[in-house]
Structure 1
Amino acid sequence: MSEWSQKVLVPILEGQSPDATEVERLGGLALFSADVDKVKEYVFESTRLPEIRGASMILDKLNLGWPRSDYKQGDSRQPKNVREVFLQARLPTRYHKQDKNPDCIVYVGGGSLLALVPIALAEILKKEIEALYARETCVATITCVWQPVAADDVQKCLDDLMARQSLLLRRAKEEKDPLPFFEAIPPARRCQSCGIRPAAEPSETRPELRWLCRPCKKKVEQSKKHRGKNQWTQKFVSELLAGRLDCDPKAYLNGYEPTAQTFDSVQSADNLEEIAQASQDNKTIGFIYADGNGIGCLVEGSKTIGDYRRKSCILHRAMRQAVFTALGRHLHIAHDILREATGKHVDIHPFEIITIGGDDALLIVPGDRALDIALTLGRTFEAELSQHEEFTGRRATLSVGLVIADRRNPVYFLRTLAEDLLKSAKKRDRELAEKGQSPTEGTLDFLVLKSQTMLSRDLTDLRSHFPWTIISADPRREKAILTSRPFTWTEVKQLKRTAQAVDRGLSRAQLQALRKALRQGRLASTLFYLYQWARSDEWRKMLLRWLEEQWGIQASNTPPPWIKLEPKGKYERYATIWEDTYDVLDLVPRLSDEEWSELQEQIRREMQREVVHAG
């Protein structure tokens, strides 16, 4: 170990302040950070799942990969990941997860990095890491920044240093040169994967196979190298077999014996069609984009390096545990899935984990299980954080954007739409935080994509016009909004229960008629609803009253099926949950006769209590 590591780094990691004179004599101290640029553009520039998986695996290998066992400090070989870059610069870093030796890397994950390094090596590390990403990906870039710091400041006011570090990183990203450019001259053959760059050569020697550009070829090769098995899938299987997930392994195994050898024959999905085949309708997928709310501020507000490292590790473990638990609880191995490339039937893991970062995750799952997976993901993540004192008493929640769509929709657009939904869910979370409501649960916004025309508009524009919003043309100046999304986790669970009750208690024809009436405006739909209520038998009247009580419709002093919202601008606003209920009918399991009888009895008891209370 170098003298700088012994006399500067180790004391800081142990919570002590090294002598300032010694720090200066040994080369000073710099806070070094890095972040990959435009990750999603690189990962999703191809619509094919193997290329998406390969791109994600390349970035994870560069960011999260451990050094080769024979790669020593000062090694002259080209580094393959960021840890080897630090070793080449003769800086200490761990070789594996159980390695307890000092590590100058404070945090690495999710495409980001934070480290303590000598000032003299900071610029060298910056150039080497940037060259590493350019060499290994051909197109993806990474931004690195550093600032000289005093050892005492690292121990006493790390939060102030991190605020400045974040500012430096944002400024560097804004000033960064454009992404690498590949000229595509007219005679050049276009890449058959991304369609952006000129193809360099066919992916194999056989002429019937695809012509790919160099970046896409690297993605395909990375995916094939691991037989198409995502490293996250392998980690999921490992955790499942070890019994470390809050789910029943036998249910996921779906008839398999719980051994590692068994899983060797289970493959990852080759395309979105295979994931969709695991859905009940054999055609829909769910794209989930989850991200923490204000989590970055909680971590960057750490006072010491040790505190920062602990919080980062807790977050990463919590997100991984939440994703794995949600998948294990609501999915199972899909048998006899037709693989079009070979014409054979295979057994697959019916999901794709694109990435798991510090507090974010991107997943593709079967459409009919997507809502349950998103709900379990959010609640498990928040429950995991609540067990640690570092997050006790803090608002540490998760928001999720969920798109459920036909498998033939371009995955890039699904990702963009999921990102818009995530922003909408985060906005609701901020509004709840400002009002002091729902301090311990996050939010979900979802969209069931039913037509290609919905892809041509952003979410805000889509929902602010007909048929999502009905604006009155008379002097009342009101907006009737045909959705109550985004929802909190409690409301999502309530929506599922509502959909199950409606599915058994009302006919689809009645629901379709109500949906048609809703699009005629608030007054017309209210008259239709009350007319249908008057024509119903006593049981259906009780069911409708129960639904109104569940969603606070009567408490809002507004005729059903509308809920009055807070005014915004010059308009009075009203919302309804019936469109949301209709959208999730096929996303929740249908109640058995026994379960339906139990729910009916519960509804009768609750409504009788309401009558007694009112009396």
Structure 2
Amino acid sequence: MKELNEFADEIYNKNLNDLKDREYVLADTRIKNVSLYDHQVLTAGIAVATVKELLIRGKSPEEICREKISEKDLISVIRIASLLHDRGKDHEEKYKNHQKRSAEHSKKLLEENGIEQPYFNLILSAVERHHLDFNPKTLHEKIVCLADSLASAGDRPELAKAKTREELLRVSRSNRELYNEVFEGKKGLAVFLGDVDRVHSYVFETSKLPEIRGGSELLNYLNNDCLKELFENELAKECLVYNGGGSFLAITPAKMADPIIKKIEKVYLGRSRIVTITCAKKEIDYLQFARGMPPYANEDIRNLKGEGIGNWLIESHFGKDQGKWFKKINGEECEICRKKGFGEIVAPLSIELRRKKDMKENIPFYEALPIGRRCNSCGKRVAVDKKVYEKTGEELWLCNICKIKREKDEDKDAGGKFYFRKYFRDFLNTKNVEVQDYYSKFPENLDELTEEYGSYYAFIYADGNNIGALLEEIKTPAQYRHFAEKLKIATENSVFEAIFETFGKEKIKKLEKLPFEIINIGGDDVTIITAKPFAFNLSKLLLEIFEKKTEKIAREFENENLPNLTMSLGMTICKAKYPVYYAEKISESLLKEAKKKAKEGKQLKSAVNYIYLKTDIASDSAKELLEMYFERKKAKVSLVMRPYILEDFDFIFKKAQEIRQEKLLSASQRKAFQQALAKGRWEAFNFIFYQIARMPEYKRGKLIDIIKELSNKFSCDDENYLWKLETDSDIMYSTPIYDLLELVEVGGESFE
């Protein structure tokens, strides 16, 4: 007979695979944003966590299923039954009597794979009786039934519509009793959240591209491979609701949460020698799965009142306008509260996670002695080993940490085929683009990446806007899994599409070295390094494509205040020798300002902020740099208007394209215009228009039209339409002209 755990893996990887690609096959036709695939996977995770909790409490397999089988086989039986329990819902038109079809499908599959007794009947009976209406008898049948209920508890309209606490307790009674029966009146499951500490400090502590790649790749290996392997060994991969970008969410037995957290911490620190991870957990019962934090009933929520900080806390959670706390279900008279559900459990967990991060007293630290050879990569720790690298001829003394990163970068088993390089190649295959010697095309260092493009690189850091608020509206762990996975895929594809459109099919095939490196894509978080000429076009395309790729995800929330998902971006353009550590810090600071800009209107917008550093300055504050370069305090003017919402950036970007393509301004003229702007409003106005008046008629007319279009777009002054009056700032006037001229200068190959 085939090993049961192997059979379970086969079902997960093959039998359910067709469902993964058919999102329209739903777990419940009344719920439009939970696929059957996600529901079945989460049911399996919850069921495995449940049976493991009972085994830890002292229950024997015989007590649970009335058969003398091993604990390992019992867990596999529960897992298989859960993965198959709703397989009869294989089409939207076949939801009625799905239990019978699920049993028929399971029976056929078990027979084909030679599953023997008693496992055959144990699996089949759990599939047949996975609803309370089907009268589950044994504890193992009740475990699958409970897991099915918990996986979709937050989606149950009858729970969400309950107006009073009495009504809520009445409609949830049977499932609450089942939970209490299985766990004997105690909480049996825990949700826990984990997040890697100081990711960017670890990855970008050096300017050596191999160490940056190696550090990022090591984290990807820990987040993707090691974490999944740990859950497979301890429980099941389905217990991991989501993982990506250094964060994860999991459902575990209550008694296993702390031991698993310790093992995770040990894995991260053991493999990296310095990376730590913080976790926060919460044990939850049935109503918390379904409705989040108390109060649960709509009437009690409406009656919430507070004074002072109490009122502020209520409004910060539910919103100031109580009329928007609830939404109608499918146009019906009844309403549900937007915030109530599984997401309301995850939100305070995130807060607890941040608190624990801030309270950490002990972190790994390698002392650098006053006398000792410093690491040639990070410059922080004492070097322990000398290495000569054949590819570049470099001779480096490295500390333990940088040595591990470099070894990961040069991992012969990986062959340079890092996660995002592999994924991008898969993407190219979908475009029928075959690239010879693909992996050798990536640059070894920043000099190789930039040497043909003026020796400047751009550090791009992008992040989704207000995604956390969306997560708080999620009703079930299955929906959380669905949203997180779809957002991750949409973000990855947005990056790949943007790169493909920026460089083009032929350039990707012909270039000896590709002038970009994807450092990380985690959830909605993106970091890319690229050569200067491609930076603006790549950034603009990334935001545009992200909005398109996430349209369907946004619609699933049915939130009129959020018609689409958006992303903000911070970018630092600097010399190849400029420390990546500072470039990352400045980009992060620029991103924060871009996010503020994104929130200025009634609806969130994608936004862009950037700085072009022509001189090396050791600073990590974008605000300080922008003030130093572009603000003239005495004249009360700012030479720039950035950050821009995407619509405005696209407009000014296209005008810059027009100037460059039609060669309306030479480099010396652009520089003279920029210098004039720095001297003051009217001096700039007189100088610029005097110079334009001396140009040939064709150029003169084009430039005046462009300036007037910018003036109208940004509501500039009627008399001096180079400048806009700022009413809510210490700066009295700002201008889009300097930004326009800088875009022309930096645009480079993206304008060709």
Q: TM class, shorter-chain normalised?
A: 0.7 to 0.9
1:428-472 deviations in Å (ceiling 9; x for gaps):
11113xxx26x5x4011111111113x43622122224x511233
CA distance in 1, matches of 2:194, 2:150: 21
**2:649 equivalent to 1:492:** yes
CA distance in 2, matches of 1:411, 1:527: 41
Tell me by how many angstroms 1:527 deviates: 2.7
- Cα distance change of structure 1 residues 187 and 263 upon mapping to structure 2, 3 Å threshold: same
For the residue of structure 2 that corresponds to 1:464, the secondary structure is helix
Equivalent pair of 2:217/2:409 in contact (CA under 8 Å) = yes
**2:486 equivalent to 1:314:** yes
Tell me by how many angstroms 1:336 deviates: 9.2
For the residue of structure 1 that corresponds to 2:221, the secondary structure is helix
Following superposition of structure 1 onto structure 2, how do residues 455-494 of structure 1 map, counting pairs within 5 Å?
455-456=618-619, 458-465=621-628, 467-472=629-634, 479-494=636-651
**2:425 equivalent to 1:237:** yes
CA distance in 2, matches of 1:349, 1:524: 44
CA distance in 1, matches of 2:283, 2:439: 52
The residue aligned with 2:746 is 587
Task: Give the counterpart of 1:407 among 557, 569, 576.
Answer: 576
**2:204 equivalent to 1:44:** yes
For the residue of structure 2 that corresponds to 1:51, the secondary structure is helix
Give 2:647's aligned amino acid.
Answer: T
The residue aligned with 1:609 is none
Give 2:493's aligned amino acid.
Answer: Q
CA distance in 2, matches of 1:301, 1:295: 10
- Cα distance change of structure 1 residues 353 and 574 upon mapping to structure 2, 3 Å threshold: same
Give 1:480's aligned amino acid.
Answer: V
- Cα distance change of structure 1 residues 213 and 572 upon mapping to structure 2, 3 Å threshold: closer
CA distance in 2, matches of 1:3, 1:241: 43
Give 1:430's aligned amino acid.
Answer: K
Equivalent pair of 2:611/2:626 in contact (CA under 8 Å) = no
Following superposition of structure 1 onto structure 2, how do residues 570-609 of structure 1 map, counting pairs within 5 Å?
571=730, 573-588=732-747
CA distance in 1, matches of 2:548, 2:263: 40
Task: Give the counterpart of 2:248 among 102, 109, 113.
Answer: 113
For the residue of structure 1 that corresponds to 2:636, the secondary structure is strand
Give 1:412's aligned amino acid.
Answer: Y
**2:519 equivalent to 1:354:** yes
The residue aligned with 1:330 is 502
CA distance in 2, matches of 1:520, 1:508: 19
Equivalent pair of 1:553/1:560 in contact (CA under 8 Å) = no
Which region of structure 1 is more displaced relative to structure 2, 22-31 or 143-152? Answer: 22-31
Equivalent pair of 2:458/2:571 in contact (CA under 8 Å) = yes
Tell me by how many angstroms 1:334 deviates: 6.5
- Cα distance change of structure 1 residues 22 and 268 upon mapping to structure 2, 3 Å threshold: farther
1:193-220 deviations in Å (ceiling 9; x for gaps):
2222222333479998433222211111
CA distance in 1, matches of 2:551, 2:658: 33
Equivalent pair of 1:37/1:141 in contact (CA under 8 Å) = yes
1:256-302 deviations in Å (ceiling 9; x for gaps):
xx26xx345634211011111353x3x12121100011012212321
Task: Give the counterpart of 2:236 among 66, 89, 92.
Answer: 92
Give 1:462's aligned amino acid.
Answer: L
The residue aligned with 1:180 is 364
Following superposition of structure 1 onto structure 2, how do residues 305-454 of structure 1 map, counting pairs within 5 Å?
305-331=477-503, 347-388=512-553, 389-390=555-556, 393=560, 394=562, 395-432=564-601, 436=602, 439=604, 441-453=605-617
The percentage of aligned residue pairs carrying the same residue is 31
**2:150 equivalent to 1:12:** yes
The residue aligned with 1:70 is none
The residue aligned with 2:42 is none
Which region of structure 1 is more displaced relative to structure 2, 27-36 or 488-497? Answer: 488-497
Structure 2: 5+ residue stretches without partners: 1-47, 53-74, 79-142, 157-174, 292-340
Tell me by how many angstroms 1:162 deviates: 1.6
1:10-37 deviations in Å (ceiling 9; x for gaps):
5423558572214424871111110000
**2:402 equivalent to 1:216:** yes
Structure 1: 5+ residue stretches without partners: 66-80, 94-102, 244-248, 251-257, 338-346, 473-477, 596-615
For the residue of structure 2 that corresponds to 1:301, the secondary structure is coil
Give 1:501's aligned amino acid.
Answer: E
- Richer in helix (by share): 2
Equivalent pair of 1:50/1:271 in contact (CA under 8 Å) = yes
**C-alpha RMSD of the superposition:** 2.8
Q: Which has the larger radius of gyration?
A: 2
Equivalent pair of 2:488/2:523 in contact (CA under 8 Å) = yes
Task: Give the counterpart of 1:270 among 441, 444, 450.
Answer: 444
1:312-341 deviations in Å (ceiling 9; x for gaps):
01110111001111111212657898xxxx
Which region of structure 1 is more displaced relative to structure 2, 314-323 or 268-277? Answer: 268-277
Equivalent pair of 2:582/2:620 in contact (CA under 8 Å) = no
1:336-379 deviations in Å (ceiling 9; x for gaps):
98xxxxxxxxx333321111011110001121011111111111
Equivalent pair of 1:351/1:366 in contact (CA under 8 Å) = yes
Which region of structure 1 is more displaced relative to structure 2, 496-505 or 270-279? Answer: 496-505
**2:377 equivalent to 1:193:** yes
Equivalent pair of 2:585/2:621 in contact (CA under 8 Å) = no
Q: How many residues align?
A: 530
The TM-score with structure 1 as length reference comes to 0.80
Task: Give the counterpart of 1:298 among 448, 453, 470.
Answer: 470
CA distance in 1, matches of 2:383, 2:692: 64
Following superposition of structure 1 onto structure 2, how do residues 138-217 of structure 1 map, counting pairs within 5 Å?
138-156=273-291, 157-203=341-387, 209-217=395-403
CA distance in 2, matches of 1:314, 1:591: 30
For the residue of structure 2 that corresponds to 1:460, the secondary structure is helix
1:518-555 deviations in Å (ceiling 9; x for gaps):
11111222232343455555444432331233223595
